[in-house]
Structure 1
């Protein structure tokens, strides 16, 4: 197996994708030997998933894992299982809670050196470095928030890629895969284009050490590539999300003659409906909790019905009754479809017996009504509405509303059912305004599991920490299914002979998926009692 070192690992999106290649056939191509993450909650998620993978590759995942994610076992009870205890011990040797930076370079270097020494027969053997530096300093949203911050240009996040660069310089991986936000292409620091600086550094991390930086999506000579040629549009590759990210594939110069140039193949579109339309329907809950009840929620629904002018209950509405449960950490009201789309084959696990982390967050009453109204109107118009599309009675009571200078006019956004979603980002942990569920009858924002599905995390992937922390991890991750396609191409680059059955990422989304559907128009769910 080809060793992997994962920097800025987050909850493990890239890791999951690389680990999946050949795994189901018992012939994994890659093995992660060291992962580094500074957030303790993401580290906890990555540790648990690493233990899961260790168990899967050995005797199989024990039932205690499923009882734990179902909430039937506490962590001490779960960790006491001898199989789990052994896997966790191995995982702790691989997954490291550490902040990458100059202060910790010597210890991180020692960890990587020991991990590679135990995994390579010789230091000339192939290994791969993956990861992406934190992106807040490059993102358009981050730059907007700190537009007048004099310290912004000195933010250490601008330079965390140098920790990635240091590992390349020090250990010289055969291949590296570096991911970052599209905003990197327009970011500047002290008058220089950040992307040009990074590309120059990665091409020659030190005298005599050179890398060819390739695109995975544009078939042009390397010297003729433009910055935008490194952008991967996730929705073009079977990901149910319009996520555009810079992905750099670096090949060490002395390995070029034994590598192949490879490119991702476009896949059939996967929509929001395809990703989450089969999950149990649940209602939002009202904040504050003292005001929440099925009756109070139903009253809100009827208020929106009146604003929409739907009138009496229709015959069709009875087919879609109002959901009265808000879900929960584990929801048993879910059955895996008998006929599964290629996307679902990647996501689903029959052993789960339900769905985890499908619990609606609480919203203020006025926001719930806005969600319901906008989702209903979006189903009719087929477009994402803006703040100005709300009727007067649903407009936020802010002084600047209705003015030409009103900021954030798209602060409420419905995820259209028949399209890939907008980009899932960490801000989903703050509120759900930008992630309104397309089914108007549910009047809510997306759950953690729904966000995870849009990010293509398998349903048996469990996120640790509070719900806010879970959202944050999901939003910061690389979609594992996209990572798997990249990993398959890295294997092909290194001329690894993959059996056809081992190319799970390539096959799992190759065919056009069957379309799921909410009742159209989605208004009918509103008027069911």
Structure 2
């Protein structure tokens, strides 16, 4: 079967990809851009599944499009059933060349563990979260469909999950299944993404391919903040490097060097050409549903190479403007955003709010002769207009104002609930980022469509794998498949000569 798949590729067929836990399609977009064919996807979220179909199967006949847009629970559908729904004839293990995907990371990530029930009384409760076993379902699909290559992506914490290195243990299973796997940590900022986002990336090839490269070399460079280096060190605590008991599938993280890399893309370089949303904008003045049915035209030509790419990405061009440049309505906080300094977080924002509240009390005293007393209804009403109700000691990272001259910090799925983690660097706009700005920071081109409304779209963006990082991995994989095709031809030639 492996030789048959290589033979099809040698005849000019594109490698066929199935994306599991696909979300809206960050990995799919990276692989599509590197020359792969996206056969289908499995995604349980209704909005994300439809977004994936809108971007990768928009030209399919209506019935087939709806099949692709259907949300699916991977625990409830077998690979053979899935491919039959797509109308693919023949043995299931002949239909797919590459499997990609990132099993849900909530059970692995430290931020998710704290929310699990009973965790305070039973510190190991997160180990019983059934989501942590979805990566086993991924392996079931590998067993059934026999891809010649695969990609698995997840948060760094899978390297230290309750004392287990899930990536290493997964590689052991893949080795037994006939694959040659490697995993490492990659930061998206090193691959042209204007965001510092650390991920575990596991790539495996069938042993018959005789692969010699798994992960891409960085193209961009920046000195990462200490917090990112600390996260990496924590994740790697279970990596064994002694010769007697080493984690043999782990590869040292690819490190950039300023001599052979270009500077990382900054937030301003990524966003400055998008339409302003300032105090004159209806989006800041009115509350109501945020829909994507209005085209907002670009105010100027692209000013950076990154902006040009976002507008002109082949197959996802957007030459006039964007439809999803919408923000949250947060009237209490605009004045705080305007006075925050780049890099300020919630404690600084809370102090600013208290200072502005005091200024308001002084203004009332000048105008009315006395200020409202603490505990009165007037005092509480005025305070609510200025001071957020969150304890700065408990929520120090709830807010953060971006720096214009730095890449953004990691976008989270929590964007679906609020956007305070990414306050726009431009104080004259004084707001949180829009859906399109979040997409830009993840390296989604402007022509990539998100199924609205706003909150599900933010969640899709925050959950996604940055397409440019996925494309870098896909380019290495395509190189290995091309090399394998050449080796397969040479082996056949030598065999024929020997006969």
Gaps of 5+ in 2: 1-13, 221-261, 358-385, 486-499
**CA-to-partner distance for each residue in 1:156-195, whole Å, 9 max, x for gaps?**
111010110111122221111000012222321xxx41x2
1:259 is displaced (CA, Å) by: 5.8
Q: CA deviation at 1:474?
A: 0.7
Q: What CA distance in whole angstroms lies between the structure 2 residues aligned with 1:332 and 1:397?
A: 33
Equivalent residue, structure 1, for 2:190: 236
Moved more, 393-402 or 406-415: 393-402
Q: Do structure 1's residue 249 and structure 2's residue 217 form an aligned pair?
A: no
Cα deviations by residue, 1:413-459 (Å, 9 ceiling, x for unpaired): 00111111011111112112211001001110000000011011110
1:158 equivalent to 2:132? Answer yes
Residue aligning to 1:315: none
Match of 2:219 in 1: 266
C-alpha contact (below 8 Å) 1:284/1:444 kept by paired residues: no
Q: Which digits, 9 at most, give the CA deviation of each residue in 1:192-213, with x for residues without a partner?
A: 41x24x422343258x523222
Partner in structure 1 of residue 233 of structure 2: none
Change (3 A) 1:205 1:328: closer
Residue matched to 1:182:
156
Equivalences for residues 289-438 of structure 1 within 5 A: 292=285, 329-335=293-299, 337=301, 340-342=304-306, 344-348=308-312, 351-365=318-332, 367-374=333-340, 377-378=341-342, 383-388=343-348, 390-391=351-352, 392-394=354-356, 397=387, 401=391, 406-438=393-425
TM-score by length of 2: 0.70
Measured in 2, the distance between the counterparts of 1:350 and 1:463 equals: 15
Cα RMSD of the aligned pairs, angstroms, is 3.4
1:31/1:237 CA distance change after superposition, 3 Å: same
Q: Does 1:45 align with 2:51?
A: yes
Q: Is the 8 A contact 1:203 1:211 kept in 2?
A: no
CA distance in 2, matches of 1:45, 1:88: 15
Report the Cα offset of residue 96 of structure 1: 4.5
CA contact (8 A) 1:211 1:253 kept: yes
Among 471, 479, 489, the alignment partner of 2:466 is: 479
| Cα distance between partner residues in 2 of 1:3 and 1:99 | 21
Contact 2:435 2:457 in 1 (8 A): yes
Matched, 1:489 2:476: yes
| Residue 35 (structure 1) aligns with | 41
Q: Cα offset for 1:352?
A: 4.3
**Alignment pair present for 1:109 and 2:111:** no
Q: Compute the displacement of 1:3 (Å).
A: 1.0
Q: How far did 1:394 drift?
A: 4.5
Check 1:327–1:205 CA distance in 2 against 1; reply closer, same or farther (3 A cut): closer
Q: Return the offset for 1:494.
A: 1.4
Please give the alpha-carbon distance, in whole angstroms, between the structure 2 residues aligned to 1:400 and 1:8.
Answer: 34
Aligned residue number for residue 79 of structure 1: none
Instruction: Supply the distance in 2 between the matched residues of 1:429 and 1:31 (Cα, whole angstroms).
Output: 30
Report the 3-state secondary structure (helix = DSSP H, G, I; strand = E; otherwise coil) of the residue aligned with 1:109: helix
* Structure 2 CA distance for partners of 1:360 and 1:97, relative to 1, 3 Å: closer
> SS of the residue aligned with 2:399?
coil
Alpha carbons of 1:158 and 1:275: their partners in 2 closer, same or farther (altered >3 Å)? same
Cα distance, 1:400 vs structure 2: 7.9
Matched ranges for 1:133-152 at <5 A: 133-146=103-116, 147-148=119-120, 150=122, 151-152=125-126
Deviation, 1:363, is 0.5
Deviation at 1:20, TM superposition (A): 1.3
Task: Please state whether the residue corresponding to 1:428 is helix, strand or coil.
Answer: helix
The answer to whether the Cα contact below 8 Å between 1:8 and 1:134 also exists between their aligned partners in 2 is: yes
Greater Rg by CA: 2
1:450 aligns with 2:446: no
Question: Does the Cα contact within 8 Å between 2:279 and 2:285 map onto a contact in 1?
Answer: no
SS at match of 2:436: helix
Residue of structure 1 equivalent to 2:225: none
- Aligned-pair distance for 1:327? 11
- CA distance, structure 2, for counterparts of residue 149 and residue 363 of structure 1: 37
Distance of 1:361 and 1:292 partners within structure 2: 11
CA positional deviation for 1:280: 0.9
The match for 2:180 is 212
User: Does the 8 A contact of 1:37 with 1:98 survive in 2?
Assistant: yes
